[in-house]
Chains A and B, each alone.
Chain A
Amino acid sequence: MRLIGRRLALYALTFWVAITVNFLLPHLMPGNPIQTMIGKLTGTVTPAEIRSIRLAFGGGLNQSLLSQYFTYIGQLLHGNLGFSFTNSKNVSSILVQYVPWTICLIGVATFISFLIGTVTGALLGWTRGSRLDSLIPTATFFQATPYFFLASVMLLFFASKLGWFPPQDGYNIYALNLHPGWTWEFVLSALRYGQLPLISIVLSSVAGWMLGMRNMMVTMVAEDFVLMSIAMGLPKRKVIWAAARNAVLPSIANLSLAIGLVVSGALLVELVFNYPGVGDLLLNAISSEDYPLIQGIFLVITLAVLAANLLADLVYLLLDPRTRTEVAP
């Protein structure tokens, strides 16, 4: 419980840092980006909308930085992330449309890739020195390849050349009576269109889990308790399980770094496949310099990554009984 409390405090602090960076950036950057943006917009959007944009950045020009900061935080607490002028909608109402796509895609992909990577990594570590070791250079190559490049290659071969998968979008947007919602046809279409992005993300991220797990497993196999369990005549399956259970702990403890990298990479995969998720939205926001939208997306991504971290901490607590003792270390 202490552990979870400490982690929660850390994540709260991290989120606060993200909010503060988000607030300070436009105010401290040379060239006054907010003023430039509003200058460009005058005439194209209504004065009420300009006021709303200004409010989301912390209010007027004649206020001090500190009072603008409090206005900004107050707006955030009310769920007001600002107004996206390219879409003429509130940022939060746009995000509600896009976030579920991303969470489903990246969540499922990360889960699958962690599972496959950890299992193969444990086996590789156990059979170290055998022919299976030749997988390592291949895995290294996949690990070093940028997500979006691998996704482009997958798109080229499996969608464009072979035609096995639909190439772009999150569902069949050309079908006339197919609208986002919980209908059977729509879910099937979304599953079909999600396959290739999913495979790309798994292929890109699996090597990291695999290599990390292998290294830990190699170290673990040389531990006395493994030798002891073999000497006692435990079935091999149980020995591997015992070693793997210990070896997986650092892998989960390091999730915080990994999740950030996986999410960052996966966002770009969406872009390659024109997948209707946050990554694609972010790119459009960048190319049209829609700052309120960029900032809103950043906050949402941060929040999601922190939530995933917390989940990883809970799993860690479940797997490692040592962390559950209430005695202070």
Chain B
Amino acid sequence: MKSLRFPRSPKVIVGMVILGFFIFLMIFGPYLAPYSPDNTNFAPLLTPSAHHWFGTTSLGQDIFSQTLVGARATMVVAGVAGLAATMLSILIGISAGYIGGFTDDGLSLMSNVFLALPGLPLLIVIDSYLPVNSRSNSLIIGLIISLTGWAWGARVLRAQTMSLRNRDFVESARIIGEKRMRIMFSEIAPNLLPILASSLLFTILYSIGAYVTLAYIGLTSTSVWNWGTMLFWAQSNNAPLSGEWYWFIPPGMCIALVGTSLALLNFGIDEFINPRLRAGGLSGRQRRRLGMPRRQRLGFTPVVRSVTTAPRVSVQTQNPVTP
């Protein structure tokens, strides 16, 4: 088996390192936290020091511990929501693209409706009716978020499936008499892998945003620590206005960094799918080393010899996936 043909651009490496760090926090964060996040025994509103790296809240809770503990809930919900939404989009997108006809019309209409509906207000309405004990359940919240986040992936997958539907390998599988399910999920789905990965990253990015937002407006249980709840408490105590930056900057930066890492990985996948974007991903030094002109000339897509491990089956995107 050949080594993974993944573009090794600096963007991808940085993205992987950041994401790896936060996955580490997700697993070990609660054990690494020096204090309990609910412990109110410290003096209120301490600025960052050696004892309290990120200071304390107005109730005297250690913000560093809250940030570490909060990583788990945030990442787990985002992961659950992202995976569930991607499953839905695979199911709906591939079925619509492959079966076509009436099924396609129905499913496409459904995804278009969900695309046009503003996702977050819908989430807020659904969530505001949830009983309080369900609001602390990561699984339920994740699944509800996934309901509003699958449509984009389904649309992209459908377009790609339609372009694969009449390729020879699918034709021959059909002639051999493979079952429809098998063709859809063993023949077509593997060829959608780059798009699938990109859609997964995009959905996780959306889910983090959605979950944190729900927590920020106080619609998740405050008994579960996540980065959104921290921001909720900071906002309800007017931390930005009174200059208590250490209260809301750490959780906010964590969210932004996780998001950035996902977006950077997505860039890598985009460059993998669309080689024209790839040359743009090389730094000036790399380009000089490879003997490429610093400014690219028009009309030519520069091809780097050492990176010619491009995918054999070139995948065309009708809609370049950008978050």
Contact = CB atoms under 8 A, between A and B. Distances in A.
Interface stretch (B25-33, B53-61, B179-187, B252-260): B252-260
A232 to B, nearest CB: 13
A289 B212 CA distance: 20
Contacts of B298: 221-222, 226-227, 230
Interface residues of A, number: 81
Contacts of B109: 10, 13
Interface stretch (B38-46, B76-84, B190-198, B238-246): B238-246
Contact of B115 (A21, A26, A256, A272): A256
Interface of A: 10-11, 13-14, 17-18, 21-22, 25-26, 29-31, 33, 127-131, 133, 136-137, 140-141, 143-146, 148-149, 152-153, 155-156, 159-161, 167-168, 208, 211-212, 215-216, 218-219, 221-222, 224, 226-227, 230, 250, 254, 256-257, 259-261, 263-265, 267-268, 271-272, 282-283, 286-287, 289, 291, 294-295, 297-298, 301-302, 305-306, 309
Nearest to B296: A129
Main secondary structure of the interface of B (DSSP, over half): helix
Contact of B128 (A129, A156, A294): A294
B264 A140 contact: yes
Most buried by B among A29, A260, A301, A309: A260
A164 B216 CA distance: 27
Contact of B117 (A127, A137, A143, A302): A302
Minimum-distance CB pairs A-B, first 5: A144-B259, A264-B120, A227-B299, A149-B252, A145-B256
B100 interface: no
B277 A215 contact: yes
A113 to B, nearest CB: 15
Interface stretch (B85-93, B158-166, B168-176, B315-323): B315-323
A280 to B, nearest CB: 11
A160 B299 contact: no
B102 interface: no
B259 A167 contact: no
B218 A144 contact: no
B249 A254 contact: no
Contacts of A136: 267
A211 to B, nearest CB: 6
B126 interface: yes
Contact of B319 (A208, A211, A250): A250
B181 to A, nearest CB: 29
